[in-house]
Amino acid sequence: MKRVVCITGAGHGIGAATANAFAEQGDDVVVTDIDGAAAERVAREITERGGSATGHRLDVASDEEWAALSAALRAGGRAPAVIVNNAFRNVVAPAHELDSAGWHSTLDVSLGSIYRSMHTFHDTLTAARGSMVNVSSVHALLAWPGHPAYAAAKGGIVALTRQLSLDYAPEVRVNAVLPGSVNTRVWDGMDDDGVAAAEMQASLRRFAEPAEIASVIVFLAGEGASYVTGVSVPVDGGQTSSLYS
Ligand SMILES: NC(=O)c1ccc[n+]([C@@H]2O[C@H](COP(=O)([O-])OP(=O)(O)OC[C@H]3O[C@@H](n4cnc5c(N)ncnc54)[C@H](O)[C@@H]3O)[C@@H](O)[C@H]2O)c1
C-alpha cells in the first residue's frame, strides 16, 4: 500500500538511500533536508525513475519550519504515515572544550528533532496506524573519545524511542536503528588508519553501505515488523557484539 513517508536529512547519505528504498517499493516520499537543493535533487532523481517524491527544505531544529512543512503537506493531501528521523549534528570536542552552542545545537538537531516530528505529525501517524523510525548510532552504546553531545543525543534517542512507542501505542509503532560505520561523507576527513581501525571494529570487517541501513529502516516501518515497537536495532556489522578488533 502506498504511504506518505517523510524523511529528515535525506539530501545525502543514509537519508537519501532511505528515500530511494521507500520510493522503490512504491511509497510517496517527502524528502527533506536543511540543504533544500540536495533534497530537491534526490526527489527529482526518484521521479525521473518513475517514483513519487517531492523535495523540501526543513531545518529540523526549527519549530517554524516543521509547522510550514506540515501546512504544505496537509494542504496537498499528503499526511505522513511514516516519519524517519535521520538528520543529525555532531560537534566533536571533549566537554571542557565544547562550548554551550555546540552542546545545545547537537542535542537540538539530533534529539529535539524527534520530539518536534511527533509533536507535528502525531495525529497523521495515529490516523494512518503508522510508524516512526529514528536513526541513532552505536554511540548510544559505546563511548569514543570527544563525542559528549553526540553520545548524549544518540543515547537519548534510544530512551525517547521507547517512550514514544508507549505514549502513541497501539496505533503508532516507534523504533530506532543504531548504525555502525557507514560509507557516507561524514568519513571524508578520516585518514586511512582511522578508516582501517573502524573496519576492524566490525566483525564483518567493513563499512556498511547506506542502502544496508535503509533496508532495515524500511523493514521496521513496514508490515513485516507489525509486532515490533520500542526497540533499537544495531545495524553495525557486529561492532557492538565483540571486543575483538
Ligand atoms: N555515517 C556513519 O558512519 C554513521 C554512523 C552511525 C550513525 N549515523 C547516523 O546516520 C544519520 C545520517 O548520517 P549520514 O552518515 O548519512 O550523514 P550525511 O552528512 O551524509 O547526511 C546527513 C544529512 O543531514 C542533513 N542535516 C544536517 N543538519 C540538519 C538540520 N538541522 N536539519 C535537517 N537536515 C540536516 C545534512 O544536510 C545531510 O544531508 C545520522 O543520524 C548519523 O548520526 C551515521
Helix (H) or strand (E) holding 125: helix 113-127
Give residue 13 CA to ligand 1 midpoint distance, Å: 7
For 4-235, CATH number?
Answer: 3.40.50.720
Q: Kindly give the distance from the C-alpha atom of residue 86 to the centroid of ligand 1, in angstroms, as a whole number.
A: 6
What's the pLDDT score for residue 47?
98
Which pLDDT does position 202 carry in this prediction?
97
168 is a catalytic site residue: no
Instruction: Kindly report the average pLDDT of the chain as a whole number.
Output: 97
Q: Would you say residue 74 has pLDDT above 80?
A: yes
CA distance 135 to 42: 19
Which residue has the CA at smallest separation from atom 25 of ligand 1? 9
**d(Cα 22, Cα 113) in Å, to the nearest integer?**
21
pLDDT, one tens digit per residue, over 25-55 is: 999 999 999 999 999 999 999 999 999 999 9
CA of 245 to the centre of ligand 1 (A): 26
Residue 187's pLDDT is 97
**Residue 1 corresponds to which cell in the numbers above?**
500500500
Do the Cβ atoms of 91 and 54 come closer than 8 Å?
Answer: no
pLDDT at 93 over 80: yes
Predicted confidence band at 245 (pLDDT cuts at 50, 70, 90)? confident
Buried b / exposed e along 164-200 (16+ C-beta atoms within 10 A): bbeebeeebbbbbbbbbbbbbeeeeeeeeeeeeebbe
- State pLDDT tens for residues 187-239: 999 999 999 999 999 999 999 999 999 999 999 999 999 999 999 999 999 99
The per-residue pLDDT for 155 is: 98
Q: Give the Cα separation of 207 and 13 in Å (integer).
A: 13
**Ligand 1: which residues within 6 Å by Cβ?**
8-9, 11-15, 33-35, 38, 58-61, 86-89, 109, 135, 137, 179, 181-182, 184-186
* pLDDT at 117 exceeding the cut of 90: yes
HSE at residue 185, side-chain half, CA atoms within 13 A, is: 6
Calculate the CA 107 to chain-centre distance.
14
Supply the pLDDT for residue 128: 98
Write down the catalytic residue from 115, 150, 168, 244.
Answer: 150
CB count within 10 Å of CB 87 equals: 24
Quote the pLDDT of residue 232: 98
Identity of the residue numbered 122: H
Span 47-65, average pLDDT: 98
Query: Looking at residue 244, what is its pLDDT?
Result: 84
Q: Whose CA is nearest to atom 24 of ligand 1?
A: 9
- Residue 26, pLDDT score: 98
